[in-house]
Structure formats: C-alpha cells, structure tokens
Amino acid sequence: MNDHRPPSPISLHPIGVIHSPFHDPESTPIQAIRSQAIGTVEVYPEFSQGLRGLEEFSHIYLLYAFHRSEGYSLLVKPFLDDDQHGLFATRHPRRPNPIGFSVVRLRKIEDNLLTIEGVDVLDDTPLLDIKPYVPDFDHRDDVQTGWYSRRSKS
C-alpha cells in the first residue's frame, strides 16, 4: 500500500470562535440534534464578507477544533452504546485530528455574529469553517447506521 500522507503537517487557522453556555464536557449535549441551547458564532472581521447570503439558509454546518481534546484511542466506547467500536465508526471527540462538526439552526446574523440554536460544543471553541446545509446535497434516503441501529437503548 502506498503512503499517501502529506509531506508536511496541514495548517488550519480559526476563522472565528463559537460561544456556548457549556463550560465543561460533562454538561455539553452529545449531538446538536439533542440540543436546544442558543449560542453565538463570532466570525473574525477579516472573514465577515464571506457571510453574505448565508442569512437565507435555515441550517448551517459548523466545522471546528476540539480544542480541549487530548490524545485518542482507536477503540472507543461511544456515549450512546455500551460496546467498543473503532474510532472512525463513531463521533467520539478524541481523534488523531480533533475536528468536529455540527448542523445547527441559524437564527440570525448581525454583522459578524451569528445566533444559532442547537449548539453542542464547549464555550470558546475555535471555528474552522461554515457551510450551508443543502438538502439536495446533504440528505440521503438509503442509509445504514451500523452499530448505532443495534445499540442498547437504555
């Protein structure tokens, strides 16, 4: 098998910060769909022009860095199951590249501040990117959910 690793590390720089009411991992919802919490996304002023037209979308993807995550294991017990699974078959936050994503409701935009609903990240989470949720591109009907469909639901 060929080694397809890049010749040097990839460098990402935050374009803003996500503000939430959550200050410790234990109180943070485990997925945006399970949260009704209101938060704000502060896009740094030098990137605010990129928000033009975003107000027309009801939902957005937030891509961010798990800034308080340390280390990782390739076998993990996810929050919603009692069995171990491979890390890449889960959404566990401790990953080799600590990148997360959430689909949240966009409530309003004022200048470079976005008010969102469904925030599920820690306060002061570094924002890496924003993308609009587009059902024609993002929705799938014929899906399989692996272990998640068989998990113990206690």
- According to DSSP, the β-strands at 59-65 and 125-132 are antiparallel
Whole-angstrom distance, CA of residue 137 vs CA of residue 134: 5
What is the CATH number for 87? 2.40.30.70
Is residue 139 domain-resident? no
In a domain, residue 146? The reply is no
- Whether the predicted pLDDT of 94 surpasses 70: yes
- Within-domain flag for 11: no
**140 in a domain, yes or no?**
no
Q: How many domains does the chain have?
A: 1
Q: Is the predicted pLDDT of residue 17 greater than 70, yes or no?
A: yes
Model confidence at 32, in pLDDT bands (50, 70, 90)?
low
Residue 56 is part of which domain span?
16-134
One-letter amino acid identity for 132?
P
Report yes or no on 2 lying in a domain. Answer: no
In terms of average pLDDT, the best of 53-57, 95-99, 146-150 is 53-57
pTM higher than 0.75: yes
Confidence at residue 82, expressed as pLDDT on a 0 to 100 scale: 85
Share above pLDDT 70 across residues of the chain, in percent, rounded to a whole number: 90
Mean pLDDT of 104-112: 97
